[in-house]
């Protein structure tokens, strides 16, 4: 068996080497595959991937900057694992948390598992009131629309069986990919379980890219998927 770890990347020259070192050092109970998607970085990240990681990992390059959702979609297409998960290219999430998530997936034969930053999460510092309450609000709306009981629907750490997520007709370009994955999973009749993970959020001045506009896109995506 194999776990594919999709890492969408856009202008993360300051963190890409460290996060890849952390992922590489993480010991999983099965084989791992690292899939890097460069979303047309302009800060030197693309050169780093070409010079240091081509041939070692699966690397794909976009011809323009599309957004995280497009990167995730490209990664899902390229992934060959029995299980597929997403890892941001910054340092907010600890790849070590993926190990017990994978173990739970295998032991309980789960189709999907979300890592919750709210269920016993270790928040060392806030990323801002807007980010925090925005994520909570979108999760509440998703729960109401799709009959879920999630505490953190907008988490990066989503782990799927590969054959499930590959059949989703994903079309999101940006951060609203989180809402689309949640919606399409729920429409399969699946109650999404969660597992507590740690989280060290960065702030806008440190490179955080999501904005209030993305919150609107999340809500629009949830409504589109629910009533289409």
CATH number of the domain encompassing residue 102: 3.90.550.10
Judge whether 210 and 173 are in contact, CB under 8 Å.
no
Percent of the chain with pLDDT over 90: 84
What is each CA distance from 58 to 54, 91, 123, 155, in whole angstroms? 7, 21, 32, 24
**Residues 59-82: what's their mean pLDDT?**
98
Q: Which of 71-75, 207-211, 213-217 has the lowest mean pLDDT?
A: 207-211
Q: Which of 122-136, 139-153, 174-188 has the lowest mean pLDDT?
A: 122-136
Number of domains in the chain: 1
Q: Which domain holds residue 111?
A: 2-226
Instruction: Give the pLDDT of residue 14.
Output: 96
Instruction: Give the pLDDT of residue 154.
Output: 93
Distance of CA 123 to the CA centre of its chain: 18
Rounded distance between C-alpha atoms, residue 203 and residue 206, angstroms: 5
Across all residues in the chain, what is the average pLDDT?
92
Q: Is the pLDDT of residue 201 over 80?
A: no
């Amino acid at each position: 068996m194999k776990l594919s770890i999709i890492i969408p990347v856009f202008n993360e020259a300051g963190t890409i080497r460290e996060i890849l070192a952390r992922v590489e050092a993480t010991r999983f109970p099965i084989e791992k595959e690292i899939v890097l998607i460069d979303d047309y970085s302009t800060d030197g990240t693309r050169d780093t991937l070409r010079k240091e990681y081509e041939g070692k990992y699966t690397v794909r390059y976009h011809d323009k900057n599309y957004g995280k959702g497009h990167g995730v979609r490209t990664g899902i297409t390229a992934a060959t694992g029995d299980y597929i998960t997403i890892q941001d290219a910054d340092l907010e999430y600890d790849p070590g948390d993926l190990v017990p998530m994978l173990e739970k997936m295998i032991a309980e034969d789960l189709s999907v598992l979300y890592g919750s930053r709210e269920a016993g999460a270790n928040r060392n510092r806030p990323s801002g009131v807007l980010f925090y309450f925005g994520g909570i609000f979108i999760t509440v709306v998703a729960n109401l629309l799709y009959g879920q009981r999630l505490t953190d629907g907008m988490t990066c750490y989503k782990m799927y069986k590969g054959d499930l997520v590959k059949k989703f007709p994903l079309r999101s370009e940006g951060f609203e990919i989180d809402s689309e994955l949640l919606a399409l999973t729920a429409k399969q009749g699946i109650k999404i379980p969660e597992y507590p993970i740690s989280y060290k959020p960065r702030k806008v001045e440190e490179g955080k890219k999501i904005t209030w506009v993305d919150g609107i896109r999340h809500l629009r995506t949830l409504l589109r998927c629910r009533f289409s």
